[in-house]
Structure 1
Amino acid sequence: MLIFESVMEKTHLYKVDNFGVKNYNFLVLTCFLFLVMACLTLSLGHITYIFEIENANSPVKTYGDAIWLMVMSASTIGFGDVYPITTMGRIAVYTMFLLGVGTLGTLGAIFANRIFGFADTNIKNRELRKQNADIYAKLLELEKKIDEINKP
């Protein structure tokens, strides 16, 4: 997550509000994650295809089978109809499982946040901070007036 934070800070893909809270551009982040997922699927699928096609006993017969295997690995569904039998194919599927689950999980969290509005709490907290700042400013103003009245 530290790498992600530094990349986002360097690219300025967020806005800082009045309270110093970073508001990330989730559209850009979502597009980036879809691109990462497509690259992972295609590249690892290609690697799997290259190594599996050489083995006659492999259920991976076409490039589409290899891509299907990667999608099923990333989603953790894994129907079992297509599976790797070579060591490199298994390593590619394992890599896709590790990276794909995280990528899809992040995409799911972004959509859940946008659809169900879990960020509402954050918005309410900002509104309360603004109200508190306004009340505090008014309090300081009233104290100043009281001090002026109490001057001898």
Structure 2
Amino acid sequence: MARPRPTEFDKKKIVAENRKARFEYFIEDVYEAGIALQGTEVKALRFGEGSIAESYAEIRGEQAWLVNANIPEFSHGNRFNHEPKRPRKLLLHLRQIEKLHGAVAREGMTLVPLSIYFNSRGRAKVELALAKGKKTHDKRETIKERDWKREQGRLLRDRG
């Protein structure tokens, strides 16, 4: 019998988060992907260093790659230290990769990393979203909605 999939990903320690992605894109589906890292990259991530602000994912052949993610060199690394902005392989099932490739090719969607984190087993994972870009008027509407919720909270707090 198949093991039931958890509804939420098991995030123990969030290392890097792409907060701008939720503002810039409509998030359709979210996937959890493993990431192939070198030893000094894992150590740098455990120290909380790393940025995925301007990174994206792409499908090349039958593999998924995380491009432009910045994991700085480990401070105590030696001559075998890693390259900070090298492309990193994402570990997904072939069926997931084919589904993502089809969505990106046909529907004009984008693969955006939302966060890098360590799960409860100590494995580095990437939360990957299949997203569609927002237009300017959609962004304005999001700002209006956010401001209204903030104002609503103030009104309720003042009355209560």
**TM-score over 0.5 for the pair:** no
Greater RCO between the two (CA within 8 Å, min separation 6)? Answer: 2
TM-score, normalised with respect to structure 1: 0.31
By percentage of residues, which structure has more helix? 1
Q: Rg: which structure is higher?
A: 1
By percentage of residues, which structure has more strand? 2
